[in-house]
């Protein structure tokens, strides 16, 4: 193909910043449209489908479950397909078509069956965009820059998560369905144009693009070089070589593992704990989404709009600190960020107990204290934003280096992100159920304490597993010739 005429605009269409921006817009669109529709669903069910008012909540919950269930079911197939295609842009575009179909069905649907099908399509689109989008990012920037890029992207899309429900409610009250779906259509148009224009680095390399041949993933993930070799002493280097042997995959493997080779990697405890981090992160985010509006209503008498504005306190620290936290992960590793982030969330979440326990008096003082505490929680959420993805990518990269022919030409990265998407979606699904049940049974304050305990356990597990064993345990292992993955 190198002799073919290159596409128009090859240089800027394959530019790293444009590729990252396209993925960020894709993720933003997915979250934004999800949140934009949520406040409209109760009215849509009553006015179009004639659902009785006393059954609206159960139907809304069912529609939310359809979205989450589709995300869980289709995440792994999306990764499997992406790792077997020559270019990830094709399935990336297919995911957007599913989202377009879902939006049209929600805009004009008159039956519950159509609405359920629309939410399932939204869930499929989410599975595709998260799975393939993250794989495209890794292909583009390489593992050594993954932390700051993921941190920056998550900070950007948090704006959509913040603004969408509030904007959806305001648009519906002012303009009706036309305004809500008009904004959605405009955003979909921008997203479609960017996904259509994107040219991946490996595709650009076929046309001799200047920076495509130095694709960080191609160089660092598959060359087999030890990027830490210059920074370790002789004893540590010997131990590292012993550890490297643990990433060799014995042959032959059964048909299931040969079909979905990333399954073997999941037996590594570092990946298992990394996926746990993703689950806890998602469940905690969902806890805030599910309980802040109801608690604001009962504690402060807030309207839905006023309750929505409380999310600003949570999301602004996330928006500002996300890139900085991602940079720290790239520079200092995943273990400090995971341990400090989840450990920091323990007291921050415990502080949420104080207003409901009567420790803060007066509505104004309660509001100020709550906003400050939510901002503190937002700092913790920024710190834990990227360690899970970076850690899992690093471990799979080591398997990929040690077994270059086992995973195919594209590696197992989209499959890995399929599992990441599955676990994250499961956290978003179970988080509201757990937090809502706990709030009803033991109160908001005690619910916060339970999530603080979960964060504490996650911090301890991160200390022992994320980023490899702690240095003290490594020295013991070296002394006694103990190997571990």
Contacts (Cβ under 8 Å, ≥6 apart) of 26:
92, 95, 96, 129, 133, 191, 194, 195
Query: Token pair for residue 8?
Result: 């128009």
Dihedral (Cα; 450, 454, 456, 458), 10-degree rounding: 180
The span from the CA of 84 to the CA of 190, in Å, is 27
- As a residue count, the chain comes to 485
Contacts (Cβ under 8 Å, ≥6 apart) of 480:
none
Residue 424: its pLDDT value, please? Answer: 86
Task: Let me know: does 418 contact 78? Beta carbons within 8 Å.
Answer: yes
The span from the CA of 317 to the CA of 360, in Å, is 23
pLDDT (tens digit, 9 = 90+) per residue, 374-388?
999 999 999 998 899
Range in 53-57, 168-172, 395-399, 424-428 the model is least confident about? 53-57
Phi-psi region of 118 (alpha: psi -120 to 50; beta: other; left: phi over 0): alpha
pLDDT at 220 over 90: no
pLDDT at 186 over 50: yes
Residue 349: its pLDDT value, please? Answer: 95
* Mean pLDDT rounded to a whole number for the chain: 80
Report DSSP state, residue 229: G
Residue 432: its pLDDT value, please? Answer: 80
pLDDT at 135 over 80: yes
pLDDT at 480 over 70: no
Give which of 24, 21, 33 is closest to 121, Cα–Cα: 33
Indicate the burial class of 478 (C-beta count within 10 angstroms; 0-12, 13-18, 19 or more).
Answer: middle
Query: Token pair for residue 106?
Result: 């929600």
**Locate tokens 């520079």: which residue?**
331
Candidate ranges 50-64, 102-116, 398-412; pick with highest mean pLDDT: 102-116
Residue 243: its pLDDT value, please? Answer: 56
pLDDT (tens digit, 9 = 90+) per residue, 111-124?
889 988 988 998 88
- Helix 112-141 with 16-37: angle, nearest 10 deg: 160
Domains of the chain: 1-203+215-223 (1.20.1250.20), 231-485 (1.20.1250.20)
Task: Let me know: does 400 contact 258? Beta carbons within 8 Å.
Answer: no
Give which of 332, 363, 348, 331 is closest to 288, Cα–Cα: 348
Indicate the burial class of 470 (C-beta count within 10 angstroms; 0-12, 13-18, 19 or more).
Answer: middle
**Locate tokens 């990394």: which residue?**
274
Dihedral (Cα; 141, 142, 145, 150), 10-degree rounding: 70
Q: Which residue has the higher pLDDT, 84 or 273?
A: 273
Candidate ranges 15-24, 71-80, 436-445; pick with highest mean pLDDT: 15-24
Range in 188-192, 305-309, 413-417, 467-471 the model is least confident about? 305-309
pLDDT at 451 over 60: yes
pLDDT (tens digit, 9 = 90+) per residue, 327-370?
899 888 899 999 999 999 999 999 988 877 776 777 888 888 88
pLDDT at 223 over 70: no
| Geometric angle at alpha carbon 405, from 399 and 410, rounded to 5° | 80
**Locate tokens 């939510």: which residue?**
374
Q: Is residue 475 very low, low, confident or very high in pLDDT (cuts 50, 70, 90)?
A: low
Give which of 362, 381, 369, 341 is closest to 466, Cα–Cα: 341
pLDDT (tens digit, 9 = 90+) per residue, 260-292?
888 888 889 999 999 999 999 988 988 887 788
Residue 57: its pLDDT value, please? Answer: 62
| Geometric angle at alpha carbon 271, from 265 and 273, rounded to 5° | 150
Indicate the burial class of 389 (C-beta count within 10 angstroms; 0-12, 13-18, 19 or more).
Answer: buried
* Average pLDDT rounded to a whole number, residues 460-473: 82
Exposure letters 5-16 (e unless 16+ CB within 10 A, then b): ebeeebeebbbb
Q: In this prediction, what percent of the chain has a pLDDT beyond 90?
A: 17
Residue 336: its pLDDT value, please? Answer: 93
Dihedral (Cα; 123, 124, 130, 136), 10-degree rounding: -160
pLDDT at 236 over 80: no
Range in 145-149, 205-209, 299-303, 326-330 the model is least confident about? 205-209
**Locate tokens 């006023």: which residue?**
306
The span from the CA of 449 to the CA of 396, in Å, is 34
Query: Token pair for residue 129?
Result: 């965009």
């Amino acid at each position: 193909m190198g002799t073919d005429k290159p596409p128009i605009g090859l240089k800027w269409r394959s530019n790293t910043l444009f590729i990252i921006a396209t993925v960020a817009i894709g993720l933003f669109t997915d979250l934004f449209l999800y949140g934009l529709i949520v406040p409209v669903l109760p009215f849509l069910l009553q006015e179009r489908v004639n659902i009785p008012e006393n059954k609206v909540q159960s139907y809304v919950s069912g529609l939310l479950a359809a979205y989450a269930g589709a995300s869980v079911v289709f995440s792994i197939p999306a990764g499997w397909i992406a790792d077997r295609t020559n270019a990830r842009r094709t399935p990336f575009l297919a995911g957007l078509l599913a989202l377009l179909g879902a939006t049209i069905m929600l805009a004009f649907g008159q039956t519950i069956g159509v609405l359920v099908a629309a939410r399932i399509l939204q869930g499929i689109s989410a599975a595709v965009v998260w799975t393939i989008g993250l794989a495209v990012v890794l292909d583009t920037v390489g593992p050594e820059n993954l932390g700051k890029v993921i941190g920056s992207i998550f900070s950007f899309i948090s704006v959509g998560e913040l603004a969408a429900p509030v904007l959806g409610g305001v648009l519906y009250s002012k303009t009706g369905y036309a305004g809500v779906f008009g904004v959605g259509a405009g955003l979909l148009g921008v997203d479609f144009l960017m996904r259509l224009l994107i040219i991946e680095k490996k595709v650009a390399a076929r046309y001799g693009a200047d920076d495509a041949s130095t694709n960080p993933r191609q160089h660092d993930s598959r060359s087999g070089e030890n990027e830490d070799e210059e920074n370790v002493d002789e004893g540590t280097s010997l131990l590292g070589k012993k550890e490297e042997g643990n990433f060799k995959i014995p042959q032959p493997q059964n048909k299931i593992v040969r079909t979905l080779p990333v399954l073997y990697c999941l037996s590594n405890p570092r990946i298992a704990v990394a996926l746990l981090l993703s689950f806890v992160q998602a469940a905690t985010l969902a806890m805030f989404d599910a309980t802040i509006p109801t608690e604001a209503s009962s504690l402060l008498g807030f309207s839905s709009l006023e309750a929505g504005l409380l999310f600003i306190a949570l999301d602004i620290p996330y928006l500002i600190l996300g890139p900085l936290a991602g940079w720290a992960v790239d520079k200092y590793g995943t273990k400090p960020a995971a341990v400090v982030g989840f450990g920091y969330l323990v007291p921050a979440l415990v502080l949420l107990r104080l207003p409901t326990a009567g420790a803060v008096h007066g509505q104004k003082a309660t509001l100020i204290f709550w906003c400050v505490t939510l901002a503190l929680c937002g700092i913790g959420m920024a710190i834990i934003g990227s360690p899970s993805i970076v850690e899992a990518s690093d471990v799979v990269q080591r398997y990929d280096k040690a077994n270059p022919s086992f995973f195919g030409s594209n590696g197992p990265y989209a499959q890995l992100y399929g599992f990441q998407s599955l676990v994250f979606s499961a956290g978003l699904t179970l988080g509201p159920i757990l937090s809502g049940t706990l709030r009803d049974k033991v109160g908001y304050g005690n619910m916060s304490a339970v999530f603080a305990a979960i964060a504490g356990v996650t911090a301890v597990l991160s200390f022992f597993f994320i980023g490899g064993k702690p240095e003290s345990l490594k020295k013991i292992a070296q002394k006694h010739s103990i190997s571990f993955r």
